[in-house]
Amino acid sequence: MGGMQRNRFFSPLTWPVLSFLAVIAVGAVLLYAPASWQAGQSLSLIDAAFLSTSAVCVTGLIPVDISVVLSPLGTTVLLLLMQLGGLGIMT
């Protein structure tokens, strides 16, 4: 069988999954950065990953008090993750 073979890893069915995973990973890294925390606060990597996943999947679950832990940059990242997740669900 000659010709062009299909790449099953990048099929139209996997694009939504891969894009959600990429946005979650980037969001977790951004939320884990110290610039996203209030002075004197910190966020573990697992909490940052959970917060990012929850925001992208638009579930509203939070493991920490975001008004205490996150800086204005962190809340902006969180809001952008919610918007991207909502757009992903709508498309």
pLDDT tens, residue by residue, 10-37: 787 888 888 889 999 999 999 999 999 9
Distances, alpha carbon 56 to alpha carbons 7, 21, 29, 84, in Å: 27, 9, 14, 7
pLDDT in tens, 52-83: 999 999 888 999 999 999 999 999 999 999 99
Q: For position 31, what pLDDT does the model report?
A: 97
Q: Give 69's contacts (C-beta < 8 A, 6+ positions apart).
A: 37, 38, 41, 42, 43
Residue 13 pLDDT: 81
